[in-house]
Chain A
Amino acid sequence: MAGLLGAPLAWLLVVYVGSLALLVASAFFSLDELSGRVTTDPTMDNLAEAFGESAYWSLVARSVGVAAAVTIACLALALPSAYYVSRLARPWAKRGLIVAMLLPLWAGYLVKAFGLRAIFEPGSEVGGGGLLRALVGWSPGFGYVAVIATLAYLWFPYMLLSVYAGFERLPESLLDASADLGAGSLRTFRSVVMPMLVPSIAAGSIFTFSLSLGDYITVKIVGGTAQLIGNIVERALLAPNQPLAAAFTIWPIGIMVAYLVVMGRLGAFENL
């Protein structure tokens, strides 16, 4: 057993957690004033900057908001679709439908983001514009709406997969029993189905939430002037101010660890 555990644990601990620890430690380093090089002189300035400025508090709140919105949007589309494919679709169509919905995952993150850029391009009175503009004459343009829509589009297959697996695990007998006891479909859904789906939803939400929280590339592609946590980290890195970037990363690390603990309580880990 120790042998089984040893090697992967060594990797995860040494390579992964080790680098994370180094990163957090480096948040306490300062830059040499003249050359800008990282020194090992300790300072609290980076943490004060990352955690003390109200501008960054609102940035973090916005990022959490976007991540939550993306999760909800994915859930809203995944629930009915997964229910349909799992319970209502003809058996021979099931596999085809699921593969059809998962295939876009393979198309590539960047390609899809740029595809959505071509859809949201606002153009102007003098012309240009993307697909939305051409079809309905208007586009929300680049901004938080486009970011949320794009991220929801990108991560939808993850949520779908989780929720679909959850529906598949629902025993039909339970639903029949609920109907026998006189519950209408809505009541059954609320009291029987949803509680049993919570672990799958929690599992799916881990992907949609975390992938959205730290995203900076989609923000750059369709976000216009929008900024999320990931952008600030990248900005600090390019300054170059690596210790400050490290200080900023403590935000998403803290948020995600807390999120994982909560989702773990909801049973997400048995359903990943």
Chain B
Amino acid sequence: MRISARARLGYRLVTYATIGLLYLPLVLIFVLSFNSARSLVWPPRGWTTRWWTTFFDVESARAALLSSARIGAVAMVIAVVLGTMLAFALQRHDFFGKQTVGLLAVLPIALPGIVTGVALRNAWVRFGWDLGFLSVVAGHTTFCIVVAYNNVVARLRRVAPNLREASADLGATPLQTFRYVTWPLIRSAVVAGGILAFALSFDEVVVTTFTAGAGISTLPQWILNNFSRPNVLPYVTVMATIVIVVSLPIAWLAQRLSDGGGETR
């Protein structure tokens, strides 16, 4: 396709403008973390580094970070295992109801979080169990499965099927084929799926609100609660900036892993 230089410039402008717009609110939050007033209006009332220097003393922030990390880690592991299994089952085999299962695999993300959250809470309470770590993990795992499944299935589609046949022709058992041929090809997709699942769980707030009960406070809940407590609000902007900065290499890694591997045709 031939694109005129003017059109090319136009596309470039739109792209860079979009990037600019994407980062505007984030930069705003970063700047407001130095605001001496405890609210989110512009311009800032004054400047201070107080919030940054005292941030690590805020115990509730540390506890929330830890809580989110624990829940995310457990949900990620279960989701990756189950999601990968599901991807293999759907990609490799034909069976009755395959379309429906495919739909089912997407449903937890396709249905609004409030539906998932309310449904899980209702079921949990009806069975008389206490809401807590397990109920939150159950909720997170459910939508994390989708992410893990998506990543592995996308990779499996790209992996040439004749590789497996070739391996079998050469005398390998299914287990050996998996270990030496399949796994190296999908490994990075599994890891990418895991990273994305963790990120999703880390950031999730709606399902968490309904399944957490009294004892759990994840990072998003901490943020939500502290936006309601104006005098801890500036710490939220600090936390946000830290999360963004830490996420940069992780986002890069996830993208690299998703792209790589399996490009055999």
Query: A171-195 vs B: 1/0 string, CB under 8 Å?
Result: 0000110110000010011000000
For the complex, what is the distance from the CA of A229 to the CA of B102, rounded to whole Å?
A: 26
- Contact A129 to B41, CB < 8 A, known contacts A5-B85, A19-B119, A119-B28: yes
B105 in the interface (beta carbon within 8 A): yes
**CB distance B3 to A249 under 8 Å?**
no
Question: What residues on A are CB-neighbors of B3 within 8 Å?
Answer: 88, 185
A51 in the interface (beta carbon within 8 A): no
**CB distance B103 to A1 under 8 Å?**
no
B86 in the interface (beta carbon within 8 A): yes
Among B114-171, those with CB < 8 Å from A are 114-116, 118-120, 122-123, 126, 138, 141-142, 145, 149-150, 153-154, 157
Question: What residues on B are CB-neighbors of A119 within 8 Å?
Answer: 24-25, 28, 42
For the complex, what is the distance from the CA of A5 to the CA of B93, rounded to whole Å?
A: 10
For the complex, what is the distance from the CA of A219 to the CA of B226, rounded to whole Å?
A: 18
A45 in the interface (beta carbon within 8 A): no
For the complex, what is the distance from the CA of A242 to the CA of B129, rounded to whole Å?
A: 17
**CB distance B142 to A106 under 8 Å?**
no
**CB distance A129 to B42 under 8 Å?**
yes
For the complex, what is the distance from the CA of A118 to the CA of B237, rounded to whole Å?
A: 12
Query: A112-124 vs B: 1/0 string, CB under 8 Å?
Result: 1011111101010
- Contact A88 to B12, CB < 8 A, known contacts A11-B145, A179-B2: yes
Return the 6 tightest CB-CB contacts between A and B, nearest first.
Answer: A214-B112, A115-B25, A106-B247, A19-B123, A19-B119, A111-B240
B residues with a Cβ closer than 8 A to A are: 1-3, 7-8, 10-12, 14-15, 18-19, 21-26, 28-29, 32, 40-43, 81-83, 85-86, 88-89, 92-93, 95, 99, 101-116, 118-120, 122-123, 126, 138, 141-142, 145, 149-150, 153-154, 157, 199, 203, 205-206, 220, 223-224, 227, 236-237, 240, 243-244, 247-248, 250-252, 255-256, 259
